[in-house]
Amino acid sequence: MKNNEDYMRTAIKLSIDNVQNGGGPFGAVIVKDGKIIARGCNRVTADNDPTAHAEISAIRAAATILGKFDLSGCEIFTSCEPCPMCLGAIYWARLDKIYYGNTKTDAARIGFDDSFIYEELEKPLEKRSIKTVQLLYNEAVEGFNAWEQKEDKVEY
């Protein structure tokens, strides 16, 4: 039976191999009941997809394999501390635990610096670098009203 270090070594190997295959130096695996059920690596530049981070790719694969969006009972092993987007996805997926190798400081040192995102999130909307404008609230709220009234909705 594998242990946590074995799972982390798999994520690390994915990160190293991915560099050789045109991707970024990030790998992740999702484990359930002592077995790796999904793998992911960073394919942002290879696939021209800014969301194709290792953790996101692994979460998508695990959700497909399990046939559900709630990944409770699973743990993620990732070669680097998750960025804000991946951390949000991990919480939305309800993973039980995060294990990581490199830190966000290590990532920043080699050019993967997410500190500006953390800083932006602390700012009021009007002070953020990407202008944010609310538009057509009265029309947009109709979608929320429809959801609120839907009797057979699947809550998440």
Residues labelled as active-site residues: 55
Taking the C-alpha atoms of residue 154 and residue 95, their distance in angstroms, rounded to an integer, is 19
Q: What is the DSSP secondary-structure string of the chain? A: ---HHHHHHHHHHHHHHHHHTTS-S-EEEEEETTEEEEEEE--HHHHT-TT--HHHHHHHHHHHHHTSS--TTEEEEEEEPPPHHHHHHHHHHT-SEEEEEE-HHHHHHTT---HHHHHHHHS-GGGSSS------HHHHHHHHHHHHH-TT----
| CA triple 31-34-39, angle to 5 deg | 25
